[in-house]
Amino acid sequence: MGKSVMLTYALWVVGGPFGLHHLYLGRDNHALLWMLTLGGFGFGWIREFLRIPAYVREANQDSVEDRRRPTNLPPLHPVRFIGQACVGIYFGTVAMIGLNSLSFFYLIVLPISVAVGVHLVSNVGQQTSDLQKTLTACLVTSSLLYGSAFAPLPISLAATVTAAQHRRFKPPRSPRSTQTLAPRLFRLTLALVAFSAPLGFCIFHNTTATLYYLSDCIAALLDFFWFVPWLRHMLESILLMPYRILCAVTGGGYYEETWRKVLEILLREYTEREKDALRVLSLHTDASLEEINQGYRKLVKIWHPDHNPSTEAEDVFLKIQQAYELLQRWHRPRHSK
């Protein structure tokens, strides 16, 4: 039985960001991509309003026994190319958040994660690519960028170019090979679990580290535009927009304070704990790294147990040491003035 355009549109409206209409059409790779990215970060789902009739035609043609596909090279579509790069970066970033503590992360885990993201987009629709060559490009590029926080970007670009060079049409599917819904859902569930398990573990058991990694990424992105002050200011305004809207709607309160604490971390502003550390060192909130070092050395001379025989010297010195180490972690080289 052929697929219905009207039913496909209905599923697109009801569960489009989760790929429900693609699941109906037998486009499992597309459905999985939508589940993992919430409809291509929202943009892909909206764009599909005009693409659904073509998807239905492809699904109905695949149900014909003598269906043939071209043997020539598929056209290079910019949307697919951009999608491969974005999803590769997305998969790589998720891996860095959840699995970067592994000793072999940059040599194995990160390149595999990016390659899977790029190859998933390559397999959407009637096209596919050479996974082995895509993975090889990721492995080579990742080894050259070992330890870099920006590694997912060049790795994904290298994989995207490689996948585009080796793109081809999928062989036609035989109606007899069409599987029932149960095994298809089982495979999709396994893929979802494999993608979300590391990230879920990191969020629930290492929330602070997750937020600080995100803050590092955002701060690095903002610092990249230091030479264009107006663009940096615009990006900061966009990040602060939810907080300002919340203030305007609620007029303040508990939720505003909670959101503000999250923004303090994401925008690399001082948190309450870091403000306490500044007070321990008798410093103001805009103290530079040099001033922090000077304040620390000055207090160490006063409170070091070897120089101060008082009973409280050891406790005070410990607080000074902890405050200094906390501020040192915050003041990365890119924050130095």
Phi, psi angles (nearest 5°) of residue 77? -95, 130
pLDDT of residue 134 exceeding 90, the answer is yes
Percent of the chain's residues with pLDDT above 90: 29
Q: Which residues pair with 16 in a beta bridge?
A: none
Q: In this predicted model, what pLDDT tens digit does every residue of 108-129 receive, in sequence order?
A: 999 999 999 999 999 998 899 9
Q: Are 29 and 123 in contact (CB under 8 A)?
A: yes
Query: How do 168-169 and 127-128 pair as beta strands?
Result: antiparallel
pLDDT at 160: 96
pLDDT of residue 162 exceeding 90, the answer is yes
What is the Cα–Cα distance from 59 to 2, expressed in whole angstroms?
8
- Give the three-class secondary structure for 173: coil
Range from 126-140, 151-165, 180-194 carrying the lowest mean pLDDT: 180-194
The CB-based long-range contact list for 74-83 (8 Å cut-off, 24+ gap) reads: 74/126, 74/127, 74/167, 74/168, 74/169, 76/164, 76/167, 79/47, 80/121, 80/122, 80/124, 80/127, 81/160, 81/164, 83/40, 83/44, 83/121, 83/124
pLDDT at 275: 76
pLDDT at 336: 40
Mean pLDDT of 213-241: 65
pLDDT at 42: 87
pLDDT of residue 73 exceeding 50, the answer is yes
Picking from 127, 126, 2, the residue whose alpha carbon sits closest to that of residue 64 is 2
Spelled out in words, what is the top-level CATH class assigned to the domain 272-335?
mainly alpha
pLDDT of residue 333 exceeding 60, the answer is no
Average pLDDT, the chain: 79
**pLDDT band (50, 70, 90) for residue 332:** low
Is 184 or 82 the better-scoring residue by pLDDT? 82
Q: Are 292 and 327 in contact (CB under 8 A)?
A: yes
Range from 7-21, 73-87, 112-126, 239-253 carrying the lowest mean pLDDT: 239-253
What is the Cα–Cα distance from 47 to 174, expressed in whole angstroms?
29
The H or E element spanning position 169 is: strand 168-169
Q: Which residues pair with 169 in a beta bridge?
A: 127
Q: Which residues pair with 168 in a beta bridge?
A: 128
- Give the three-class secondary structure for 282: coil
Percent of the chain's residues with pLDDT above 70: 70
Q: In this predicted model, what pLDDT tens digit does every residue of 50-72 receive, in sequence order?
A: 999 999 988 887 655 445 666 67
pLDDT at 161: 96
Picking from 262, 65, 29, the residue whose alpha carbon sits closest to that of residue 176 is 65
* CA 124 to chain CA mean position, Å: 21
Is 256 or 301 the better-scoring residue by pLDDT? 301
**pLDDT band (50, 70, 90) for residue 104:** confident
Q: Are 153 and 89 in contact (CB under 8 A)?
A: yes
Q: In this predicted model, what pLDDT tens digit does every residue of 258-298 receive, in sequence order?
A: 555 555 555 555 566 777 888 888 887 767 778 888 888 88
Within the chain, which residue ranges are assigned CATH 1.10.287.110?
Answer: 272-335
Q: Are 142 and 118 in contact (CB under 8 A)?
A: no
pLDDT of residue 331 exceeding 80, the answer is no
What is the Cα–Cα distance from 233 to 329, expressed in whole angstroms?
25
pLDDT at 245: 67
Alpha-helical regions (H) of the chain: 5-15, 20-25, 28-41, 43-47, 52-62, 78-99, 110-122, 131-144, 152-165, 181-205, 207-224, 229-250, 254-266, 272-280, 289-303, 313-330
